[in-house]
Amino acid sequence: MYSISASYLGDQCGGTPYAINIFRDNNCSIETCSPSSNTSSADMRTVDCASDYIQAARDKFGSSPYIIELVFRDENCSDFGMGYGYPASGTCVGGYTANDSYYVIASLNKDGSASLELYPDRSCLSESLYSVESGDKEAVQTHECDANWFKWYSSNDAGDTSGSTLTSGSVSGDSSSAALSNGDILGIILGSFVFLMVFLVAVFLRLRQKLKSNASTIDSLSATSAASIEAAIRGQTGLWNDDIITTKRIPRDKVQTEKLISRGSFGEVYAGIFNGQQVAVKMLLSASRDNITLVNEFLAEAKMTATMDHPHIVSFVGVAWDSLTDLCVVLEYMDGGELRSLLNSYLESKKPVGFDREKATIALQVCHALTYLHSLMPSIIHRDLKSRNILLDKNMQAKLSDFGISRERLDRTMTAGVGTSLWMAPEVMLGEHYDDKADMFSFGVVLSELDMHTLPYARAKKENLDSNGREMIDSILLQKVALGKLQVEFSNPKPRSIGELGRACISIDPTERPSAAEALYRLQVILSKRRIV
């Protein structure tokens, strides 16, 4: 049995889905229309269960053009891994993969080939292109296994009846019934014309109503006073009136921004000054500041960070705004930068691999932060732990940051596939249930980074080249990780070492991973020794 999950934009599950995901799931359960956890564009989703997953995916797209990509675990394409489907619109849409959330341009080309361009942000700008997956004309037409262990299907397939509720027998008959009189033809034409006119009038009235609504919304957001903006958003979200946000609000004119530190898909961080103290100022990108959804998510992250109180979590200073365009979150300034930058410098200077006291202490401090998060009621799962989200101060004290996709663990387990793929636990990759042990897998990957200085799976990518000399693509690499065929490296996995702890953290079975508290104890024991191993 297979699970076919379709994601939709808006609050309903009608029309063409923005993405379809296919997984093997013997315990599949049907969902009619429920909120989606996708972090790109889709808001609602349905889940169908079927043995013929290809036809089930075709039916979801109906008469719209589409591309379906099936990913297999072997070169003969006999062991199914997962599948994706996208509308072949040639435009940027929010697409979800098991590895991460991306924005996708799916295209059926004139030469019969198909391509999927993956981007990390909703602009789908060429300079931010993450990867391209494509099938040539033969692969798309024959559905044969290609060199990347993919199979391709599309709306161009001959005899495709997806979306149709009629069998072939329902439109065919004997020769006498197939012939139509001139009167029949005229009646059909007139009936179609009347239907078309009614349809066009309905569309016109609907568009006019929508334009009036949009104009009203734009007018309400154009005012720059804090009061008018809060009023516009209050009716939709309430976060602007949230007690935590309002009590942490600081004067916007007291916050000064200086040089740019970093820029991501939706936001940027500046060095700044508040009340004479150096701070980090986090803001949305200018193109995102009038998007209520993104503003809301930004405030949700601010609220989450504001509730944290731990010496190894970046401190929250306040949130400030005079208008929607200058909303910012003010955080503790970490002048040591990202852990990833430090490890890159170690790599360039050829610093010996392994754990010294400094690196072991960083691991201990990160584990302190995880233990704190997981001990809260309800516990908080970070869900995006990686070296870039671990910041250092001038004294090399490590602090955890970036709670943009963290969630309170209100349910026993969750299934939202979010995070950064190379650090992600197998159960999250596969869309399965997960808990705080997913953070421990990511922590194990971070321990490998601290040990080896390289990005995760760097050696595996270089040593597993295809016939064209290209490095292993992420989709294949992550399949191997999910199957336990590939792991991050450690220089010294001996008993009672940090390497051994790291290996335990990256166990495929979440129950075999230590808890944050258990890992913390083991690190404390190791650090109590004179010699770090």
pTM given for the model = 0.57
Above pLDDT 90, what percent of the chain?
A: 34
Alpha-carbon torsion 457, 463, 468, 470, what sign? positive
Domain span at 208: 181-222
* Residues noted as catalytic: 384
Tell me, yes or no, whether 410 lies in a domain.
yes
Regarding whether 297 and 356 lie in a shared domain, the answer is no
Distance CA 444, CA 429 (A): 16
What's the CATH number where 418 sits? 1.10.510.10
- Residue whose C-alpha is closest to residue 154's, from 167, 171, 137, 166: 137
- The reply to whether 328 and 344 lie within a common domain is no
Q: Is 111 exposed, middle or buried (0-12, 13-18, 19+ CB in 10 A)?
A: exposed
* Banded model confidence at residue 449, pLDDT cuts 50, 70, 90: very high
Check residues 176 and 369 and name the one with the higher pLDDT: 369
Handedness of CA 99, 89, 78, 130 (dihedral sign): negative
Same domain, yes or no, for 360 and 317?
no
Look at residue 509 and tell me if it is in a domain.
Answer: yes
Mean pLDDT over 174-202 rounds to 47
Q: Is 216 in the same domain as 286?
A: no
- Averaged pLDDT, 377-394: 90
CA 234 to chain centre: 27
| CATH code, domain with 262 | 3.30.200.20
Query: What is the rounded distance in angstroms from the CA atom of residue 65 to the CA atom of residue 134?
Result: 16
Q: Distance of alpha carbon 235 from its chain centroid, rounded?
A: 28
Do 371 and 510 reside in the same domain of the chain?
yes
On whether both 215 and 309 belong to a single domain, the answer is no
Q: Give the Cβ contact number of residue 24 at 10 Å.
A: 15
Which residue among 332, 358, 374 closes a domain?
332
Between 98 and 496, the more confident residue is: 496
- Dihedral sign for Cα atoms in the order 234, 279, 407, 43: positive
Is residue 296 in some structural domain?
yes
- pLDDT (0 to 100) of residue 350: 94
What pLDDT was estimated at residue 409? 39
Mean pLDDT for 151-175 is 52
Does some domain include residue 533? no
- Tell me the pLDDT of the chain averaged across its residues: 77
Distance (Å, whole) CA 331 – CA 438: 26
Quick check: is 425 in a domain?
yes
Say yes or no: 260 and 342 in one domain: no
Tell me the mean pLDDT in the region 9-21: 79
Domain assignment present for residue 170? The answer is: no
**Is 148's pLDDT higher than 90?**
no
Residue 176, pLDDT above cutoff 80: no
Task: Answer yes or no: is pLDDT of 154 > 80.
Answer: yes
Residue 54 has which token pair?
């290809």
**Share above pLDDT 70 across residues of the chain, in percent, rounded to a whole number:** 73
Helix axes 437-452, 498-505, angle to 10 degrees: 140
pLDDT beyond 80 at 207: no
Q: How many domains does the chain have?
A: 4
Check whether residue 446 and residue 343 sit in a common domain. Answer: yes
Inter-residue contact 383 to 419 (CB < 8 Å): yes
Contacting residues for 492 by C-beta, under 8 A, at least 6 apart: 354, 355, 451, 498, 499, 533
Of residues 428 and 520, more confidently modeled: 520
Where do runs of H (alpha helix) occur along 6-125?
Answer: 53-61
CB of 262 within 8 A of CB of 268?
A: yes
| CA–CA distances in Å: residue 50 to residues 88, 155, 449 | 23, 20, 41
Q: Which of 267-271, 479-483, 498-502 has the highest mean pLDDT?
A: 498-502
Q: Is the domain of 359 the same as that of 498?
A: yes
**Is residue 186 predicted with pLDDT exceeding 50?**
no
Instruction: Give domain status of residue 175, yes or no.
Output: no
Residue 396 pLDDT more than 80?
A: yes
Question: Rounded CA gap, 282 and 486, in Å?
Answer: 37
In terms of pLDDT, which residue wins out, 343 or 173?
A: 343
Rounded to an integer, what distance in angstroms lies between the CA atom of residue 215 and that of residue 213? 5
Q: Tell which of 162, 193, 213 closes a domain.
A: 162
One-letter identity of residue 109? N
Q: For residue 346, what pLDDT band results from cuts at 50, 70 and 90? A: very high
Is the pLDDT assigned to residue 277 strictly greater than 90?
yes
Q: Are residues 467 and 377 in the same domain?
A: yes
CB 19, CB 85: distance < 8 Å: yes
Judge contact between 125 and 42, C-beta under 8 A: no
Question: What pLDDT is stored for residue 211 in this prediction?
Answer: 44
Question: Is the Cβ–Cβ distance between 151 and 138 less than 8 Å?
Answer: no
> How open is the CA angle 35-378-265, to the nearest 5 degrees?
50
CA distances 88 to 109, 400, 418, Å, are: 9, 40, 24
**Residue 170 has what pLDDT?**
32
81-100: per-residue pLDDT in tens?
Answer: 778 889 888 878 765 443 34
Using the 3D structure, point to which of 311, 332, 353 is the last residue of a domain: 332
pLDDT on residue 214: 45
Q: Does 449 lie in the same domain as 516?
A: yes
Virtual CA dihedral for 291, 6, 380, 456, nearest 10 degrees? -100
Instruction: Quote the pLDDT of residue 349.
Output: 96
- Cα–Cα distance, 352 to 358 (Å, whole number): 13
Q: Which residue has the higher pLDDT, 320 or 148?
A: 320
Same domain, 103 and 141: yes
Q: Is residue 288 part of a domain?
A: yes
State pLDDT tens for residues 19-62: 888 888 887 888 888 765 444 444 678 889 999 999 999 998 88
Q: What is the pLDDT of residues 462-490, one digit of tens each?
A: 887 766 777 777 777 888 888 888 999 99
What pLDDT is stored for residue 452 in this prediction?
Answer: 96
Q: Which residue has the tokens 């999250």?
A: 428
Beginning with the edge strand found earlier in the chain, give each strand of the sheet holding 277-284 in spatial order: 255-263, 267-274, 277-284, 328-332, 316-320
Q: What is the pLDDT of residue 100?
A: 43
